[in-house]
Structure 1
Amino acid sequence: MKPIKAQAGVAFKFLNYRISNFSYNESSVKGNNFDIEFEPSGEYNSITGEYTLKLNFRAFNNDPKFEVITVTAFADYIFDQPYKIEELPKHFYLSAIPIFFPYIRAFISTLTLQTNHENGVMLLGLINFTNMADVLKEKTIAK
């Protein structure tokens, strides 16, 4: 895969991902009415230009609030050259989670399919992650 060049001239590329931890807790509540939460954070290496995105996902049943699924996943990106952390463009923070999300969505669907629970497969639809760009930027540290 070739790096994506943006108008600002900063290019980055998605390298790989991994699911490092997950849990599934069967709920006695029937139905697929879930609240979901995402918690992004990142580490950027200004010497190598490598960025690691950490994304925590949680799904809850509402009645009572019960954690059904948790997933901790990581995605690795690399920039075309090392930049200072302040030079990372907004389009990276806007794009990093949406690029990675289809892999997490597929994992969650497969996990819930394999449980054979009467609620069936958890299918996550399209999600607008625009508001998470600032959160990710704020929770990105240089290492």
Structure 2
Amino acid sequence: MGTIKNSPFKLDQFIVEEFSISRKPTKQGKIDFGINPSGTIDDTNKVFKLTLNVYIKDSNESFDIKITALGFFEFKLVRSVESLSNYFYTNAPAIIFPYIRAYISSITALSGLKAINLPVMNLSSLKEDLKANTSVEVISAP
């Protein structure tokens, strides 16, 4: 049996910073979906703030959703910012995306129209964008 290691980071908090939705009682068309990731590393406090700007709409204009979600990760076991691995950049979005999916499903179910259930997605393609859009600064966590 292999040894199980603790992860060098953990999700501390998930926040929906902004959310907007418009819905029409029209048959849902093909879904168009996009995610723009960015991050801020606070090396002093060992915190990483992940921001995911997500948009979801469909070809029949039956809905248009925009959400900005924040995930605050602690990385106390990491010795330096440089030691944050590709594993982190790949997995941080995957960790908070289920919260976004659940939030959208719940809110849309309450709108009186059919709930919008996003599929489970492989977000590994966001890794390079997240790395490119990550800065280092002091974060004032909520």
Tell whether the 8 Å contact from 2:29 to 2:59 is kept in structure 1 after alignment.
no
After TM superposition, the score normalised by the length of structure 2 is: 0.85
Measured in 2, the distance between the counterparts of 1:30 and 1:83 equals 52
Measured in 2, the distance between the counterparts of 1:140 and 1:91 equals 15
The residue type equivalent to 2:125 in the other structure is N
Tell whether the 8 Å contact from 1:48 to 1:82 is kept in structure 2 after alignment.
no
Question: What does residue 5 of structure 1 align with?
Answer: 6
* Distance apart, 1:74 and its partner CA: 0.3
The residue type equivalent to 2:111 in the other structure is T
Deviation string 1:118-139 (CA, Å, 9 cap, x unpaired) is xx11111110111111111110
Question: What does residue 20 of structure 1 align with?
Answer: 17
* Distance apart, 1:20 and its partner CA: 1.0
* Distance apart, 1:108 and its partner CA: 0.2
After TM superposition, the score normalised by the length of structure 1 is: 0.84
Question: What does residue 81 of structure 2 align with?
Answer: 85
Q: How does 1:19-98 map to 2 (within 5 A)?
A: 19-27=16-24, 29-63=26-60, 68-81=64-77, 83-98=79-94
Measured in 2, the distance between the counterparts of 1:36 and 1:27 equals 18
Measured in 2, the distance between the counterparts of 1:48 and 1:17 equals 18
Measured in 2, the distance between the counterparts of 1:115 and 1:32 equals 18
* Distance apart, 1:67 and its partner CA: 6.3
Matched, 1:103 2:99: yes
Structure 2 spans left out of the alignment, 5+ residues: 138-142
Measured in 2, the distance between the counterparts of 1:122 and 1:140 equals 30
Q: Over the residues paired in the alignment, what is the CA RMSD in angstroms?
A: 1.9
Residue aligned with 2:23, SS: coil
